[in-house]
A and B are shown apart, each in its own frame.
Chain A
Amino acid sequence: MKKTLTAILLASLILLACAACGGAGEETEISANSSQASVPPVSTELVFVHAGTRVVMGGNPEPVLAALGKPLNSYESISCAVDARDTTYRYQGFELTVTYPSLGEPYVMGVHITDDTTAATPEGLYIGSPGEDIQRLYGPVTEDSGFYYCSKGLTRLGLHVGSDGAVDQIFYEYLFLDA
């Protein structure tokens, strides 16, 4: 009986030891998904440029924000219950969204061009451009439900042509989450 009890205790100790042997490098708390937590790779192939400032999707937002200066507004969208947030900064003619993950470095998530007077793509497309300009400026693009997409690396440029035949939406987005 003593031997049995010793065996039981040993088994219990082994169980507890197993419970304790989690990998030290693993994420150890409830937090955003590890893919959000790690530093994303940077794509430099499609960039938004405003007043000489290059905005690389997936890139480090700090120098960009410093160069762009004080935004007109900002909006912080905090994830419910987990310590991750997206902050959208509004500048004249466009909005820049930065993701601040719960772990890891912040990165530029996207740019949304919002008016036709002060912001355009470096290739010259702006809100109100004729829809035909899309192919002329970007070559073959993919079409899906009225949206046109040009992807390079992990950056996607999304464009929409309204019923009047003019471009009415332009956005850059970082494809890290889909990658």
Chain B
Amino acid sequence: MNKALSLKKTLSLKKILSAVLATAVFCAAFFAAQRLVMPKYMQKPFEGALTAEYYRDSHRSDLLIIGDCEVYENISPVTLWEAYGIPSYIRGNARQLLWQSRAMLEDSLRYETPKVVLLSVLCMIYGESPWDAEPYSRMVFDGMPLSAAKLRALRNSLLPEEEPLSYLFPLLRFHDRWNELGADDFRYFFRRDPVSVNGFVMRADTLAADWIPTPRLLPDYSFGQRAIDALDAITALCGEKGIQLVLFKAPSLMPHWYDEWDTWIADYARTRGLEYLNALALREEIGLDFSSDTYDAGLHLNLAGAEKMARYLGGWLRERCPTLTDRRTEADFAAAWETKTAKYRAWQAAQEHELQQDGELKSVMLYQALR
């Protein structure tokens, strides 16, 4: 009797073990396949690697800069450190929408609480996800761990034709890359190389802004409610966490920043006691020269421009944000930033060398080449 019972128990235990093993193998195969077919962003568009890169940093930023390409290519965190001792990190992605910036902030607060958040306001111009949002949303979200903030932002970001599950299980979106897997997909199966220094993407080359198209009048200058709601949420969250929020318009010449938009942002800041820096209006004071400080005719700054912008921004923030102190005398910060600065200078030297040799920047991933 006892023997029969024992045999029955052993059999049912075997069944359970088999089921557990089957589930484990299935999950392992699923996630391995997913990891393999997902874009690695180690070649263009390497901006897609920026989100994930944040989680490999030490998360000790007094200043968190959040936004789109108007921050990750326009402000040098190393200059902010060298000139003012402000440790900063840029959490930006290509055309990061306001509700995605909100998610970036919420996500960042799981790891650190900065003293000041500098928020790019250009993406206020998108009240809904634009028709071509999907590749950009992928770059924002694919590297972000699952969180309530991510799920909320996904709900706001998805286009009607997009499959929500594919953001949780990207294999559903990228399965058709199977037949075009390249060496990078295997090389970067377990790891990624850095594509930025603290979220900053460097371009040392120059393409002067000779002329920009005439801006058209718009029938309506109001921002979309979804963007306004996201800005309200960011303002509230910063207030709740004791973080000083600063609104920022980068000095990029394009897309055109209308006076009506600027007035709205300035009013919003004033009525909520926020600081607002319109660097576009102050470009002469900052010392920006668009014949030499841009690499794409005014859309973004190049390295020289980003360093000028950071030098001005640091002083401007120091005057208005008393919590931002000089950390250069603190040994642990100094050591961490010495390493970052060394990488930054090596990256700069490599780009300048290539420019001197070939007359243009050809290497997409010069940073990787340095490793």
Contacts and interface: CB of A to CB of B under 8 A. Distances in A.
B190 interface: no
Interface stretch (A39-47, A71-79, A132-140): A71-79
Contacts of A30: 39, 45, 48, 135, 138-139
Given A1-B18, A78-B299, A90 B176 contact: no
A6 B142 CA distance: 34
Given A97-B213, A160-B217, A8 B22 contact: yes
B14 A1 contact: yes
Interface in B217-260: 217, 219-220, 254-255
Contacts of A33: 131-132, 134-135
B2 interface: no
Q: Is the interface of A mostly helix, strand, loop or mixed?
A: mixed
A89 B176 CA distance: 38
Contact of B131 (A31, A35, A112): A35
B176 A23 contact: yes
Contacts of A49: none
Contacts of A5: 21
Contacts of B346: none
B29 A169 contact: no
B135 A81 contact: yes
A19 B39 contact: no
Nearest to B139: A81
A36 to B, nearest CB: 6
Interface residues of B, number: 48
B189 interface: no
B94 interface: yes
A32 B95 CA distance: 13
Report which residue of A9, A30, A147 has the largest number of chain B beta carbons within 10 angstroms of its beta carbon: A30
A107 interface: no
A12 B26 contact: yes
Interface stretch (B99-107, B177-185, B306-314): B177-185
Interface residues of A, number: 52
Nearest to A110: B216
B212 interface: yes
B135 A36 contact: no
B82 interface: no
A75 to B, nearest CB: 5
A87 to B, nearest CB: 10
B45 A11 contact: no
Given A19-B178, A24-B179, A35-B131, A75 B211 contact: yes
Nearest to B34: A19
Nearest to B41: A30
Contacts of B175: 18-22
B148 interface: no
7 contacts: A9-B25, A22-B179, A28-B177, A35-B131, A80-B47, A82-B94, A90-B211
Which 9 pairs, one residue from A and one from B, show the smallest C-beta to C-beta distance?
A22-B176, A81-B94, A80-B94, A81-B45, A145-B219, A73-B211, A12-B29, A20-B178, A33-B132
Interface of B: 14, 18, 21-22, 25-26, 29-30, 33-34, 37, 39, 44-45, 47-48, 68-69, 94-95, 131-132, 134-136, 138-139, 171, 175-180, 210-214, 216-217, 219-220, 254-255, 296-297, 299
Given A20-B175, A29-B180, A147-B217, 9 more contacts: A11-B22, A22-B176, A22-B177, A24-B176, A31-B135, A75-B254, A76-B297, A77-B255, A81-B136
